[in-house]
Structure formats: structure tokens, C-alpha cells
């Protein structure tokens, strides 16, 4: 009977080899898929045991930190309450719901490093700890912007056009991220449809840009070489655009205004002609260069950003679509919907000599031993316009603030270049969307900013949004 | 070196393992100072070593020629299991240690009272009937216990949930070894070739069909695919060794396949298991019948190549819900992979394979057919039990509830497997005794 016994043993060896093979399948070959499976809550619970890194300002002020609870797990605490609710976000680790920097920098904050490193650390018996993320945000200006919005629904976004460092990112109404970890806190915030406090209006708010978009039209007009600052247009109110008469603000007629004059006084009919003469292709080209139809290049979760552009029933349609009225789009009407960050990027590109830098919230990442492990270097997103076009536009936008619609933003000793906008939302009830985009100092730009306030009754960009921009610029530039 | 001295040396790795294992668990918990750490883990190690030494001295006297590696391999498995269970729950580990002592007593009793184990042949029908009765007990009202849809336990209040399959597997192996010793010649001589397949003579084929019918019945009665696979696999292994006819095995597999297919498509409890097996990560089943296997796979992925270390795996959610169900019994292998990784799990499987190899070696050395078949049957059923549970946990086959011998928590398992060890040592002692 010895031959069948040996064969039987070999069969059992084969069965056991099968067991090792299948164990290898789950531990090695398909392990990454399994670890990424969202049904598995192990990574979430493991995250509770790791001291997640803090989020601080460059000055060392703590915006988010981990505190140890009684059972040895860690809990997230936000000492500045609602002030940085949107840019910092929240981290509800128990369910894996994250937002803002907490989400986009989750790998650094949770200390997830390469497999090799973690094996080495494991062998050395090191406890995993997260890295600290230092943001570029300016707490003083953030406070000023929040106060200036004064509870109105709206957004303020300011960044340094030279390197892309974001200084202010305020969406109002805000929310307190400390609430999220409480029982039912997140669903309560989600249910508040009237205020939508979790909506980041800077990156998710889709608003008609109104006349601020004339900066893009002017940029296309100058940079394409088809017009100069002195080119003149028919400035009469009531000129027919796409078969419908178009009014200037207050029904004012202008006598053959130049491009500069048209921007200074925001002459609708002149810009509509410009848009029609430039054509959809040229407009689409320049919009693309400024970042329209793309997600903003911010170090922020993609899920919390939307693309700017013409929209029909919530969906993006290309500028070249037959349904687009390019004349009205050129003055920021038609069905153009943009985010405040997109308009700040337009201002930023003009400010930085035509070079658009990627805005970023993160300055650097520091490991638990205090070593800087990553520094965010300035990165150019695109060059939408030439340096000459940028300088011509800067002069023209300077006039807007000196003598035009943006005179409210004048600051003693600082020359501001800007453009107002008041997008009509409900003409019958006099409801509009006031805007202001600007950069300062015009001679040596350090800050580019966009401000908008939702659905204001009887307000204008120059009277509602410009003063907010002025306060924030003053806070950032007059120290 | 004599067999018993080799056995004594073989116990050293086991006691080192238990001492190191407890030390590792204490360090991970971080609750003890250095002194307590060395004291306590050494105490556990010493008690364990004392028990093993006692058993060793007993073997020196009772079975001086028995295989020297079987007992140390069991000691390694048992102490490994004890550390694993201690890491899950101190109380369970204490109970397991008590069962270990009871198991050793039963082990000694078996050796003393069954010195002439060939007496078992005379009682083969009694043993077979008793085994079948044992298997049906869990279906009785009051004392029967249903676990996850399978009827595998009998409740003995205050003591344990007794698992009759653990003992029935021994009874059935004894019966088959004895029955096949008588009929193996007839089965071979009377065989005919029909359409290229060697068929056993009908007269003697009937009892085999009866065994097949019993396996199917078992499947219906206890509703457990794994146990029936274990029993029927042991039967086929013995049939093959007894007759050296692969075609018999082939016919048997075919019949089992048909039966399993029928049950897998018609009995809802078995159908569920098969569905989960085919698609273990289906989110729709995750909340109920898929939770065990999905978490078994997640735990293994979490372990990776080297594992998280003793005490490093996450067992519960922060609100105390078990993350890995049945982790001290059926799913202990998943926890082992989680904490010791592929490397540790493969090492464990090699220890099992070495034990099985010693069992087969014993069978080869045995001088009579009954002894050979008994050793083959015991080693095969042991190997199949490991295959059924580890295969279930790793989703090679549908997951069913049997224990990982000597490692899983559970009194019945420990007791029955010590009897299995005792029988193997008895056969071995007789086989290796100088003439």
C-alpha cells in the first residue's frame, strides 16, 4: 500500500500549496485592491490611532490639530472654529468623510508614506505619526474678509499672483468644523439647504460674472492684435446684439468710446461688438488659456471644485456651440457661470505680466521631527496673454479704480487696478450679483483678489463688493 | 539518539515559542513593566513546558518507540494557538489552557486503555452507529445548537457547546479502516472494466454507495458542506490507499460533486454559502452573510507579507463591534495572517504538513493493514480538516465552520485531536517496536 500512500501525501501537499497560493493572493497580489475597498473600515479605525498632523499658518497659529481622547484614539480639534472652515475643511475619521485641505493633504496628514518606509518603520517599532501641513493663508486678512462679508452669502479669494500663495479663502456663510465630529452634526449642516454652509462658494459657487468678464474680452481683444486700447466702438445704448437690443447701464450713450474708456465705464454695447468681432473661436481660446472649462489648479479636493464656462441646465456647453450668444457672453451675461477663484485667476494673470501661477493653499509639509519634507514651489499654470497686453490691461484697470466704476476701492498710497461687475439676476426685482476683481499695488502687484456677494437687492459691484476688496487689500498690504 | 531524547529536544522550540509569544503580546499591550514582563511570560512558558515534560515522561514509559516528532509538533501548534487566543482574550486563553490539561489527561487515558487498539475492530459497527448518532444529535430540540445555519453543536449548559463532528471523524475513520481491511481484496479482485473505467463489483460497491449516501445525508442533517467534505475526503483517501484504484476515487468525487451541486442549488443555506464564495466582496451581501469572508480577506490584506505583529491587528470597531467575527475559532487563520503575515501563516501550514507527513510515515511503517489504514485515515482527516477551514477562510472553497486543529479555541476540538494524536502514537509505537 506504500505507493498510494505516497501519492496521497503528494495530493495533500498540492492542497496545502493551494492554501499558501490563496493566502499569497490576498496578502500580496490582490492586497492593494482589498485595502482600497471602501467596505473595509480598518484603515479608518487605524487612522483614529494615528496622531494626525496639524494644519498651521506660517506664523504658527494652529488651525487643526489632533487631541487624544480617553480611550486612546485621537480626535480632530479646530481652535479657530468657523474662520477657516472651508479651506482647512473637516476630518470625520470614523466614517472617512473629509473635506478641504484635510482631504487634499490627507496622505501627508495621516503619515501615509511609501510601503518601503512603513516596513522599515515597522521593523524599528516606530509609531506612525502624521506630518504638519503649513498653509499660506493669512489669519488676519481671513478675519477681515469674514467680517467684511458680514454674514452675507458670498466669497472672497485672494492670492499672491507672483507665486500663487493663497492668502484669503472665505466662503460665507461659514460653518464650524468642530460640529462635524458631533452626533449628527454633518447631516445637520448638509440639511441646511437655505444657507448651504458646506458649499465652498469660492470654488463651487457658479455665478454670472457680469462685467468682470470684460477683462477677459479685453485681454482677447488686445492680445489677438485685432484691437488696441485706442480702438473705438459704437457706444450707443440699445444697440441690437443677436437680434435683441442691449442697454448700457442707466441707458447711457457713449460717443465712439475707446477700448480704455469702454472698460473704465463698463460700456456693454462696445464689449458686445468686440465679442462678436473676435468670434467664438478666439474667445474660447482665451478663456481656455485663463483656465475656464477646467478645474482650478488648486491643492483642494476635485469634488469641491467646479469648472467655469457657459452652462445649459447645469451642464457645460462649449463657447463654439450655436446656442451661445457671444456678444452677451463678452459682457459676462448669456449663460456664463464662473467661480470666484476663476475670476481671481484672471486678475492674477494680468497682475503677473500675463503669467498665470497655480494658486496653492499649502506652503510646506513638516514631519514630526520638524524637518521640512516638502515645499510647494511656484508653478506656472499658463501664459494667457503677453506681457505687453498685461501692462496695457493694468493701465486700463487702473483707470477703472481712479475715475470709473471702481472708485470705492481707492486706498491711500496704494494704486489698485480692478474691474467691477453687477450681473443681472432678476431685473424685475432689482436683484443682482455684485463683483469686484482687482490686484494691487498696480505698479508691483502682490495680491490679486475676487469678491462676490450673492443676490443683492439694489447693489452694485462698485458699492457692495469693492469695499470688501478694499478692506482685505488694506489688511494684506498695509502692515 | 533515542526517539524519546529527540522528542525532548523537539519540545525546546515549543517552549521558546510560547515564552517569546507571550512576551510579544505583553510588549504590544505596553501595560507591564520590564520585570513583570519577563516574570509573567516565563511563568506561562514554564507551566507549559512542565505540562509538555509530564506528557513526555509518560510517553517515555508508555510508548518508548513511538514517533518522536508527532508530540513536539502538536506542542508547537497548541502553544501557538494559546498565544493567539491569549492575545484575543485572557479569559478564553485560561479556559483553553484548562482544556489543554483535560486533553492531556484524555490523551494519557486513551494510551493506557487502548494499548491494544486493534480491539477497536471488533466494535466497528458500534463505533460507526455511535458516530452517526453523534452527528445527528445537534438536530435534536433543546440540546441542539444552530450556528450560522449549520447544526454543529450540542449545548451542555455551563460547560461547553460540544461539537460532535470532532469525535465523529475519529469514529468514522476507525470504522472505515476496519471495514476496508476486510473488503479491499474483494474490491480489487472483483473489479471489472466498463467503458474504460474500472468499476468495483456491485456486491461490494453497495456499502460504498451507502457511505456516499451517508455523506449526503450528513450534508442535509448538519447542513455543513465543510464537514461532509472532510468525512467524504477521508473515505476516498482510505478507499484509494486500500485498493490502489484511482477510478474508485474518481467515481466517488463524481458522486460527491453531483450531490454537492444538487444541494448547492436547492438548499437555501448552502446556496447562500456558495453565492458568497463566488463573489465574496459583493456590497449587497456585506451586511449579513458576506461579512465573515469579506472581513477575513480584508484582515489578510491588512497583514501583508510580514503581518502587523502579535497584538497588532485591529479586532473591534471603536464602539466595540467585532471587526473579525469568530476570530478565536473558525477565522483564527485570518487573524494569524493579519498579525504574522504570509510568512507566519506559511510556517504554520508547514508545521501541519510535517505532522501529516509523520502520520503517513507511521502508516508506511505499520505492519498490518488495519494499522496502516488507521494511520492514513487519521492523518488524512486531520489534513482535510486544516484544508477545509483554511481553504474556507482564504475562499478556496465555501467557508464552513470547522476548527483549526490545536490552534482554534474550543474544548471538543482539543480533546478529539488529542485522542487522534494518541491513536497515531499507539500505531507508531507498535510499528517501530523492535521485533
pLDDT tens digits for B416-430?
999 999 999 999 999
Q: Among A323-337, A368-382, B14-28, B388-402, where is mean pLDDT lowest?
A: B14-28
Q: Which residue of A has its CA nearest to B355?
A: A9
**Interchain contact B364–A (C-beta under 8 A):** yes
CATH number assigned to the domain comprising residue A313:
3.40.710.10
For A239, the enclosing helix (H) or strand (E) is strand A239-241
A177 Cβ neighbours under 8 A, 6+ residues apart: A64, A76, A78, A82, A85, A88, A89, A90
Q: What ranges do the domains of chain B cover?
A: 3-280+309-432
Count of beta carbons in the 10 Å neighbourhood of residue A54: 21
Lowest mean pLDDT among A272-286, A446-460, B82-96, B216-230: B216-230
Residue A159 falls within a domain, yes or no? yes
ipTM at complex level: 0.93
Q: Is residue A51 part of a domain?
A: no
pLDDT category of residue B379 using cuts at 50, 70 and 90: very high
CA separation for the pair B93, B104 (Å, rounded):
16
The Cα B356–Cα A356 span in angstroms is: 72
Domain residues for the domain of A214 are 140-175+200-361+378-477
8 Å CB contact between A340 and A155: yes
Active site residue A82: no
Measured between beta carbons, the chain A residues lying within 8 angstroms of B427 are none
Angle CA B2–B7–B11, to nearest 5:
150
Based on the number of CB atoms within 10 Å of its own CB, is B158 exposed (0-12), middle (13-18) or buried (19 or more)? exposed
Whether residue A119 lies within 8 A of chain B, CB to CB, comes out as: yes
- C-alpha distance from A131 to closest chain B C-alpha (Å): 22
Q: Which of A9, A18, A46 sits opposite B314 (nearest CB)?
A: A46
B297 contacts B252 by C-beta, under 8 angstroms: no
Mean pLDDT of B71-93: 89
Listing DSSP states for A34-53 in one string gives HHH-TT--HHHHHHHHSBPP
Q: Does A127 touch chain B (CB under 8 A)?
A: no
Q: How far is A180 from chain B (nearest CA, A)?
A: 18
What was the pLDDT predicted at B204?
67
Contacts of B410 (CB under 8 A, 6+ apart): B99, B160, B163, B329, B403
- Alpha-carbon distances of A79 from A50, A53, A166, rounded to whole Å: 20, 14, 21
Helix (H, G, I), strand (E, B) or coil at A478: coil
Instruction: Report strand pairing: A431-440 vs A417-426.
Output: antiparallel
Mutate: best of A30, A36, A41, A42, partner B, most B CBs <10 A = A42
- CB-CB under 8 Å, A24 with B342: yes
- pLDDT computed for residue B283 by the predictor: 85
Residue B37: pLDDT band (50, 70, 90) is: low
Between A166 and B190, name the one with better pLDDT: A166
Q: Which of A110, A211, A266, A308 is catalytic?
A: A211
CB contact under 8 A, B337 and A46: no
pLDDT < 50 regions, chain A: 114-116
Q: What is the pLDDT of residue B75?
A: 92
In this structure, what C-alpha cell is assigned to residue B349? 501550514
What's the pLDDT score for residue B160? Answer: 73
pLDDT in tens, B294-353: 999 999 999 989 888 887 788 877 777 788 888 888 899 999 999 999 999 999 999 999
A184 sits in the region (left: phi over 0; alpha: psi -120 to 50; else beta) called left
What is the average per-residue pLDDT within B95-108? 92
Tell me how far apart the alpha carbons of residues B326 and B141 are, in angstroms, rounded to a whole number. Answer: 24
pLDDT at A396: 93
Q: Return the top range by mean pLDDT from A15-19, B8-12, B60-64.
A: A15-19
The reply to whether A98 falls in a domain is: no
Q: Between A1, A5, A19, which is nearest B387 by CB?
A: A19
pLDDT score recorded for residue B36: 59
- When pLDDT is cut at 50, 70 and 90, the band that residue B155 belongs to is confident
Are A1 and B237 within 8 A, CB to CB?
Answer: no
CA separation for the pair B61, B26 (Å, rounded): 37
**Computed over its alpha carbons, how large is the radius of gyration of chain B?**
22
How does pLDDT run across A78-132, given as a tens digit for each residue? Answer: 999 999 999 999 998 877 889 999 999 998 898 765 344 555 555 555 556 789 9
Tell me whether residue A468 is in a domain.
yes
Asked if the structure places residue A72 within a domain, the reply is no
* Chain B hits for A35, Cβ within 8 Å: 298, 301-302
Reduced to 3 states (helix: H, G, I; strand: E, B; else coil), residue B323 is coil
Inter-chain CB proximity A34 and B237 less than 8 Å: no
**Number of domains observed in the structure of chain A:** 1
Bridge partners, residue A241, by sequence: A244
Each residue's pLDDT tens digit, B110-131: 999 998 888 888 888 898 888 8
Percent of chain A at pLDDT above 70? 96
Amino acid at each position: 500500500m506504500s505507493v498510494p500512500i505516497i501519492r496521497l501525501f503528494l495530493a495533500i501537499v498540492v492542497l496545502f500549496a493551494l492554501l499558501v497560493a490563496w493566502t499569497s493572493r490576498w496578502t500580496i497580489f490582490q492586497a492593494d485592491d482589498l485595502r482600497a475597498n471602501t467596505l473595509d473600515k480598518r484603515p479608518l479605525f487605524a487612522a483614529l490611532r494615528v496622531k494626525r498632523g496639524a494644519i498651521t499658518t506660517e506664523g504658527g497659529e494652529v488651525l487643526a490639530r489632533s487631541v487624544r481622547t480617553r480611550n486612546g484614539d485621537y480626535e480632530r480639534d479646530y481652535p479657530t472654529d468657523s474662520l477657516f472652515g472651508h479651506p482647512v475643511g473637516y476630518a470625520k475619521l470614523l466614517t472617512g468623510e473629509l473635506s478641504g485641505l484635510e482631504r487634499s493633504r490627507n496622505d501627508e496628514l495621516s503619515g501615509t508614506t511609501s510601503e518601503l518606509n512603513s516596513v522599515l518603520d515597522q521593523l524599528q517599532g516606530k509609531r506612525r505619526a502624521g506630518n504638519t501641513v503649513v498653509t499660506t493663508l493669512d489669519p488676519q486678512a481671513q478675519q477681515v474678509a469674514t467680517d467684511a462679508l458680514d454674514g452675507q452669502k458670498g466669497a472672497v479669494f485672494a492670492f499672491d499672483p507672483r507665486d500663487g500663495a493663497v492668502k484669503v479663502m472665505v466662503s460665507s456663510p461659514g460653518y464650524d468644523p468642530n460640529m462635524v465630529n458631533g452626533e449628527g452634526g454633518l447631516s445637520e449642516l448638509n440639511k441646511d439647504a437655505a444657507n448651504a454652509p458646506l458649499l465652498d462658494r469660492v470654488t463651487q459657487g457658479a455665478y454670472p460674472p457680469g462685467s468682470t468678464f470684460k477683462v477677459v474680452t479685453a485681454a482677447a481683444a488686445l492680445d489677438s492684435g485685432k484691437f488696441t486700447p485706442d480702438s473705438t466702438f459704437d457706444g450707443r445704448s440699445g444697440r441690437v446684439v443677436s437680434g435683441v437690443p442691449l442697454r448700457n447701464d442707466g441707458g447711457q450713450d457713449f460717443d465712439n468710446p475707446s477700448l480704455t474708456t469702454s472698460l473704465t465705464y463698463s460700456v456693454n454695447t462696445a464689449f458686445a461688438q468686440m465679442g462678436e468681432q473676435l468670434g467664438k473661436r478666439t474667445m474660447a481660446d482665451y478663456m481656455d488659456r485663463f483656465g475656464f472649462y477646467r478645474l482650478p489648479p488648486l491643492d483642494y479636493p476635485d469634488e469641491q471644485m467646479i469648472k467655469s464656462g457657459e452652462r445649459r441646465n447645469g451642464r457645460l456647453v462649449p463657447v463654439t456651440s450655436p446656442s451661445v450668444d457671444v456678444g452677451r457672453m463678452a459682457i459676462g451675461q448669456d449663460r456664463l457661470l464662473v467661480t470666484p477663484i476663476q475670476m481671481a485667476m484672471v486678475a492674477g494673470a494680468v497682475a503677473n505680466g500675463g503669467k498665470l501661477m497655480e494658486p496653492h493653499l499649502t506652503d510646506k509639509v513638516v514631519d514630526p521631527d520638524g524637518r521640512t519634507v516638502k515645499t510647494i514651489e511656484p508653478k506656472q499654470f499658463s501664459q494667457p496673454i503677453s506681457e505687453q497686453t498685461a501692462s496695457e490691461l493694468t493701465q486700463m484697470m487702473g483707470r477703472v479704480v481712479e475715475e470709473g466704476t471702481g472708485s470705492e476701492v481707492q486706498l491711500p498710497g496704494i494704486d489698485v487696478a480692478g474691474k467691477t461687475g453687477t450681473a443681472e439676476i432678476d431685473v424685475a426685482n432689482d436683484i443682482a450679483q455684485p463683483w469686484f476683481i482687482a490686484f494691487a499695488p498696480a505698479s508691483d502687484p502682490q495680491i490679486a483678489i475676487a469678491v462676490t456677494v450673492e443676490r443683492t437687492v439694489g447693489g452694485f459691484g462698485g458699492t457692495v463688493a469693492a469695499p470688501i476688496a478694499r478692506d482685505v487689500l488694506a489688511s494684506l498690504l498695509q502692515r | 539518539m533515542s526517539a524519546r531524547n529527540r522528542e525532548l529536544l523537539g519540545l525546546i522550540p515549543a517552549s521558546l515559542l510560547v515564552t517569546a509569544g507571550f512576551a510579544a503580546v505583553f510588549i504590544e499591550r505596553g501595560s507591564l513593566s520590564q520585570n513583570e514582563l519577563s516574570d509573567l511570560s516565563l511563568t506561562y512558558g514554564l507551566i507549559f513546558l512542565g505540562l509538555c515534560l509530564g506528557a513526555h515522561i509518560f510517553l517515555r514509559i508508555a510508548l518508548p518507540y513511538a514517533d518522536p516528532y508527532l508530540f513536539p509538533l502538536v506542542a508547537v501548534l497548541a502553544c501557538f494557538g494559546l498565544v493567539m487566543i491569549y492575545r484575543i482574550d485572557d479569559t478564553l486563553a485560561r479556559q483553553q489552557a484548562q482544556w489543554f490539561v483535560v486533553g492531556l489527561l484524555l490523551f494519557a487515558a486513551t494510551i493506557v486503555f487502548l494499548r491494544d487498539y486493534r480491539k477497536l475492530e471488533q466494535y466497528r459497527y458500534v463505533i460507526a452507529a455511535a458516530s452517526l448518532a453523534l452527528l445527528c444529535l445537534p438536530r435534536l430540540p433543546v440540546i441542539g445548537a444552530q450556528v450560522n445555519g449549520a447544526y454543529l453543536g450540542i449545548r451542555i449548559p455551563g460547560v461547553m457547546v460540544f461539537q460532535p463532528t470532532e469525535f465523529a471523524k475519529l469514529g468514522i475513520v476507525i470504522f472505515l479502516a476496519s471495514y476496508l481491511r476486510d473488503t479491499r481484496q474483494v474490491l480489487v479482485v472483483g473489479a471489472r472494466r466498463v467503458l474504460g473505467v474500472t468499476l468495483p463489483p456491485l456486491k461490494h460497491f453497495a456499502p460504498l454507495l451507502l457511505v456516499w449516501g451517508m455523506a449526503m445525508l450528513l450534508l442535509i442533517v448538519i447542513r455543513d458542506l465543510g464537514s461532509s467534505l472532510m468525512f467524504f475526503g477521508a473515505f476516498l483517501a482510505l478507499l484509494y490507499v486500500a485498493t490502489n484504484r484511482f477510478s474508485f476515487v474518481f467515481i466517488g468525487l463524481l458522486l460527491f460533486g453531483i450531490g454537492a451541486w444538487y444541494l448547492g442549488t436547492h438548499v437555501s443555506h448552502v446556496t447562500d454559502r456558495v453565492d458568497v464564495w463566488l463573489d465574496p466582496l459583493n456590497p449587497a451581501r456585506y451586511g449579513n452573510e458576506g461579512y465573515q469572508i469579506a472581513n477575513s480577506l480584508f484582515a489578510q490584506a491588512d497583514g501583508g507579507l510580514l503581518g502587523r505583529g502579535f497584538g497588532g491587528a485591529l479586532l473591534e470597531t471603536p464602539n466595540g463591534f467585532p471587526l473579525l467575527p469568530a476570530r478565536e475559532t473558525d477565522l483564527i487563520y485570518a487573524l494569524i495572517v493579519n498579525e504574522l503575515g504570509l510568512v507566519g501563516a506559511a510556517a504554520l501550514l508547514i508545521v501541519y504538513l510535517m505532522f501529516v507527513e509523520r502520520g503517513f510515515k507511521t502508516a508506511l511503517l505499520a505492519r498490518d493493514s488495519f494499522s496502516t489504514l488507521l494511520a492514513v485515515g487519521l492523518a488524512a482527516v486531520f489534513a482535510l480538516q486544516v484544508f477545509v477551514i483554511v481553504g474556507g477562510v482564504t475562499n478556496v472553497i465555501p467557508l464552513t465552520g470547522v476548527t483549526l486543529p490545536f490552534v482554534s479555541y474550543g474544548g471538543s476540538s482539543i480533546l478529539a485531536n488529542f485522542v487522534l494524536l494518541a491513536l497515531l502514537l499507539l500505531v507508531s509505537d507498535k510499528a517501530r517496536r523492535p521485533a
